[in-house]
Structure 1
Amino acid sequence: MRGTRGDAGGGGGMTPVLKLARPYLGQLVGAGLLAAATEVAGVALMATATWLLMTAAGQPPLNALTVAIVSVRALAIGRGVLRYTERLTGHDAVLRILTDVRARVFATLAGQRTAARSGDSLSRVVSDVDAVQDLLLRVLVPGAAAATVGVLAVGGAALISPAAATALVVGLLGAGVALPAAATASTRHIAARVAPLRGTLANDAVDLTHGAADLAAYGATGAALRAARERADELARLERRLATAGWAVDAAGVLVSGATAAAVAVVALRAGVDGVLVGVLAVGTLAAVETCLALVAAARQWTGLRTPLARVSALLTPPPPVAAQPVDLADITVRYRADGPPALDGVRVDLPAGRRLAVVGPSGAGKSTLLAALAEWGGSPREVGGLLAEAHVFHATVRENLLLGRPDATDDDLASAAAAAGLLDWVREQPDTWDTVVGEDGGQLSGGQRQRLALARAVLLDPAVLLLDEPTEGLDPAAADEVLAGVLAAARGAVVLVTHRLRGLAGLDEIIVLDGGRVVSRGTHAELVETPGWYRDQWLAQEAAERGYVAARP
């Protein structure tokens, strides 16, 4: 009865991203054409301005220069307009693509039951997704523009001197092929280590920030800081190596550009080309080679982007389809043996529709493990799901937090779930009611309100089997009794409740007592309180403690 979930593979880096880019393909192609037109205008501007200056030195009639003067002005203005339009078009398309990619990545991370809300997850949502922007704007668009300029520059040089065009081809191949290959070879292995290391450093930042009090209490702050500093030093060392390799390739690019211009000029002079056109060829060559050197930066970017893109691709690639297995949710029986989930041995759970089951026991008994195993067993959160340990509250409105698992719920559904969790009165007191923003991780709420919000979200989900892990934690005894009763009354399917608090369990169908991953006793509340053992002892101790708490209240 247990389904198998496939892990998304890394797969072909760019392929999933390019699939999401298809709706914006027209804009991206337009941006590429505009980028090519911008670079062509730049090369033409340099060549025309050179011809104008060298020809004007011979003091010809002014009308002989009129066309060149107008062309220089038109090309200078047109280049700026084209660049602005290209950036506007390209960035508009890329930002729309990034929105889709980030939403898909977040949805995948949110849907992974075992995925930690870690610094590495944050790195994937932010830094790695930004690699998609660099792929499109700094690799594909400049590459297409450089290739277009190279072809047109060679064609223009061939009209003046085929021999000079041959020299230009050699220079362009060096600048557009050899140097990018060298840049890739010199940075590939280093760049592959940078992205994961940044994710590790993000984890370090989360641990050092949120775990500062515990680290200080156990005297481990120094060791944690030293480990984080070592990783930061390693990242800095790798980035210095990348910078050094980049400097060497850039210096080689300057040499290739100058050598190509000199070779073109020499070849053109030997071929008997007019001196003015030799100057035009030399300056045009400098501009064309400089444009093709953009491929070096594109190759360097691509090398650094391969690992982040693979990490993003793993979250965009859907898992392989799994054949659906029919499950009768009206009568579920799950048996865990020694080869089942860790810490569970011989545990049997029967969940006919409407059954109310509690799982109790000492710390480390396997309660949360059993609940997590049930959650993993479920085909989807609408079948088996609910409030698990450390439920996250998003920096969004109350409505958006509640609708997470059931986007089609109405306001009446929201009100019913909030009432069951004891949250409705608080919501109605807020000026923005359902649109009240709760802050990062529910920071604008008290601990009890935060717990009620997470609990209301679980009730609204309305799964066939509702899982509840310590649903009344942080609430005072009276409120805890009221909330638990409201949730049990609102749940239409079966309920599995993990709790350390034994009060309020009298009306449940069955209570399972775990210890060491095994069932040590099971029965109704009335049966267990009459039987000597852990449950009876805990019940008496908790009853005495809560009576003392009530008596001490003013």
Structure 2
Amino acid sequence: MTRPVAPRQAAATAATTTAPDPAGKASPAHTPDEMTASGATADPSGATTDMSPPTVDASGVTAGASGVTRVAGGWAGVLLTAARPAGPMLVLAVVAGVGAAGAAIGLIATSAWLISRAALHPPVLHLMVAIVAVRAFGISRGVLRYLERLVGHDAALRTLTELRVRVFRALAERAPAGLAAFRRADLVQRLVADVDAVVDVLVRVLLPVTIAAVVGAGSVLLVGSMLPAAGVALAVGLLVVCVGVPLLQGLVARRADGLLAPLRAELSTGVVDLLHGLPDLIAHGAAGARLAAVADTDARLRAAERRSAAATGVGAAVTVLSSGIGMLVGLVAGAVAVRAGRLDGELLAVVVLTPPAVFEAVSGVPAAAQRLAGAREALRRIAAVFAAPLPATEPADPAPLPTGPHTLRLAGVHAGWSADRPVLRGFDLTLEPGQRIALVGPSGAGKSTVAALLVRFLDPTAGRITLDGVDLRDLRGDDVRQVIGYLGEDAYLFDTTVERNLRVARADATTAELEEALRAARLLDWARALPQGLGTPVGEHGVLLSGGEQRRLALARALLMPFPIMILDEPTEHLDERTAAELTADLLRATRGRTVLLITHRTEGLSDVDSVVHVGRGCAPR
């Protein structure tokens, strides 16, 4: 039966840290234990499966990766979807902008007529309408311009906020399994700089182009009604500025504009990698080469920006030239018409001075076209985030969460970080209430994949995973993660205090509860001895703590939540044998009374577990 699904909601368990390592190799089948039937079948050929994360191109998107797709015209869909809620405000901004530009042109035209007419010394009453019109145009121009900027930027910033939230939600829905094709720095670039490009598109592209189209058409009709030849000349000049110049700029800087967003992402990624890996790079004498690579990326970015700026300069020059030619044509044609008696002398000034005001109103079109060319790539990169597949889908009609005691069962599960390259084949495992099982196996055997499946970071491609008989795919991911806690291999510690890192799990936890969690993780005496106690900073990624302290602090954070089931994924990774054995014992002691799945590649220190399941080597019950 087909399972209806809805977009997965963003969720994060209190103990959730970094993504389980998607790298893995298939392992041979092993025999099931009669108490914890566990099986993992490799590819029948026995060949290993390379599950390392795919490589990325300069844009941060996998080249040909199955996990990320680019949809033709997707950038336009992203823009329209984001701008739709602000549609009425954008329409108001366009109306105000047209009014402001029209008032500016009306001010110039009316002033030109008024001065020319006044030179003939008519009765002052004949000038009163023009005088009032000049005042009205002058006042309304400023008011409408302010309104256009206020409403337009408000709409753009609201759209920016909405789109940024949507992008973040899309990232959260796909994390961690669905983001293997992206670099972290590149994701930050997409969330920040690429989303900022939307403001440019709305405020500096859509608004000026729409306003220019309306004002330009109206001005051609106005001038053409007085002198057809001048109207034709103005229309030709506007076509040159609004169509010809963008095409010329495209020829000059199309490639450069398309490279700006990817090069900025590449530079951001390079700088972040350089900063994070600086100690190792210095130790191996490779800092110079890495710095040179970053400098090369920066040089290519500067070159693209210079080429883009050159195109902008060409557009500005052609716009000024077109304005001057339009004025000159109007002057010559108007003078001929006045001599022939086909045009009043007062209107000659209007015909000559109106085109510069019109060209000023449409002068933003070439720059808008160039900004759109640069923003398209940024919007495509955002579209690629939305196009990334959901590794776990939320049910349209979720089942209620079972009340427990909870039994977890995996039956015939096939799963992997790529749909066409499963790591697990026919995997079986049962976790009874209160049972403590160690899942042991080499790197790449699929242990972390099991953890991702159990906390609904990933859905199986075949088989079933049930919680008290209810398929996990019928439960909301947030509900599952209220029952199953996950302590990852590299628990993320925020660059803040010990207390605030603990409160990530429970913001309302009392000081006594924090201390109890630290006591269970054997960190209470350590925390009390810190210079500022629980208010002591831990540094970025917990750099001010030792490896053992980092893992114990992550354990304390996980223990703050009353998870009946705990998944401990490689908690002793990168620790020496003695520290690893002590931490394993403390983990099992602190989680006594809970169902525990301890994932590790070590066999030492497992005397307190009920059963040891060797992935790929059979099962050894203990």
TM-score (ref. length: structure 1) = 0.77
Whether 1:166 aligns to 2:228 is no
Pair 1:425–1:156, CA change in 2 (3 A): farther
- Over residues 254-305 of structure 1, what are the superposed CA-to-partner deviations in whole Å (9 max), with x where a residue is unaligned? 1111112222333333333223312212211111122223211110011001
In structure 1, what is the Cα distance between the partners aligned to 2:126 and 2:157? 48
Alpha-carbon shift at residue 316 of structure 1 (Å): 3.7
- Would the alpha carbon gap of residues 63 and 243 (structure 1) be closer, same or farther in structure 2, given more than 3 Å must change? same
What is the distance in 1 between the residues matched to 2:296 and 2:388? 36
1:53 aligns with 2:115: yes
Aligned to 2:156: 94
Distance in 2 between residues matched to 1:124 and 1:80, nearest whole Å: 37
Partner of 1:508: 609
Change over 3 Å in CA distance of 1:98–1:485 after alignment to 2: farther
> Residue in 2 aligned with 1:270?
336
2:356 equivalent in structure 1: 286
* SS of aligned partner of 2:593: helix
In structure 2, the CA distance between the partners of 1:12 and 1:336, relative to structure 1 (3 Å rule), is: closer
CA contact (8 A) 2:588 2:608 kept: no
* 1:76 and 2:150 are equivalent in the alignment: no
- 2:171 corresponds, among 85, 95, 109, to 109
Q: Are residues 485 and 340 of structure 1, via their aligned partners in 2, closer, same or farther at CA, if it must alter by over 3 Å? A: farther
On the 8 A contact 1:154/1:169 being kept in 2, the answer is: yes
Are the aligned partners of 2:424 and 2:446 in contact in 1 as well (CA < 8 Å)?
A: no
Q: C-alpha deviations, 1:399-429, integer Å up to 9, x for none?
A: 997898x9xx895799989955748979x99
Q: Which residue of 1 aligns with 2:379?
A: 309
Q: Tell me the alpha carbon deviations over residues 480-517 of structure 1, each in whole angstroms, 9 at most, x when there is no partner.
A: 644543335345xx6243365843x3332322456xxx
2:620 to 522, 528, 531: 522
Q: Which has the higher helix share?
A: 1
Aligned mate of 2:81, from 4, 14, 19: 19
Indicate the residue corresponding to 1:358 in structure 2: 438
Is residue 497–residue 536 contact of structure 2 (8 Å, CA) maintained in 1?
yes
The SS at the match of 2:231 is: helix
Amino acid at match of 1:358: A
Equivalents in 2 of 1:343, 1:219: separation in Å? 39
CA displacement, residues 196-221 of structure 1 (integer Å, 9 cap, x when unaligned): 11111101110111111000011100
- After alignment, is 63-72 or 22-31 more displaced? 63-72
Q: Which amino acid aligns with 1:199?
A: A
Percentage of pairs with the same residue: 36
Distance in 1, matches of 2:114 and 2:588, equals 87
Corresponding residue SS for 2:75: coil
Q: Which runs of 5+ in 2 are unaligned?
A: 6-65, 400-405, 461-472
Bigger mean CA deviation after superposition, 439-448 or 178-187:
439-448
Q: Distance in 2 between matches of 1:336 and 1:68?
A: 81
Answer yes or no: is the 8 Å Cα contact 2:258–2:374 preserved in 1.
yes
Q: Structure 1 unaligned segments of length 5 or more: list them.
A: 525-554
Q: Which has the higher contact order (CA 8 A, sep 6+)?
A: 2
Aligned residues: 513
Q: State the one-letter code of the partner of 1:511.
A: V
Deviation string 1:130-178 (CA, Å, 9 cap, x unpaired) is 0111111111111111111112212222332233222222222222222
Residue by residue over 1:227-271, the C-alpha shift from the partner in whole angstroms, topping out at 9 and shown as x without a partner, is 111111111111111122222222112111111222233333333
Report the residue type matching 1:306 in the other structure.
R
8 A Cα contact 1:371 1:498, kept in partner: no
**Alpha-carbon deviation of 1:392?**
3.1
How far has the Cα of 1:464 moved from its partner? 9.1
Q: Contact 1:357 / 1:495 at 8 angstroms: preserved in 2?
A: yes
In structure 1, the partner of 2:262 is: 196
Residue 491 of structure 2 corresponds to 391
1:42 positional shift: 1.4
Q: Residues 480, 352 of structure 1: CA spacing in aligned structure 2 closer, same or farther, 3 A cutoff?
A: closer
Structure 1 residues 271-280 or 28-37, which shifts more? 271-280
Moved more, 282-291 or 449-458: 449-458
Match for residue 59 of structure 2? Answer: none
Is 1:248 matched with 2:314?
yes
2:593 pairs with 484, 489, 492, which one? 489
CA distance in 2, matches of 1:275, 1:435: 82
2:410 to 332, 336, 340: 332
2:288 and 2:296 map into 1 onto residues whose CA distance is 12
For the aligned residue pairs, the C-alpha RMSD in angstroms reads 4.5
Q: Is the 8 A contact 1:197 1:235 kept in 2?
A: yes
Give the 5 Å matches for 1:403-422: 411=508, 422=520
Q: Is the 1:142–1:298 Cα contact (8 Å) retained in structure 2? A: yes
TM-score (norm 2): 0.69
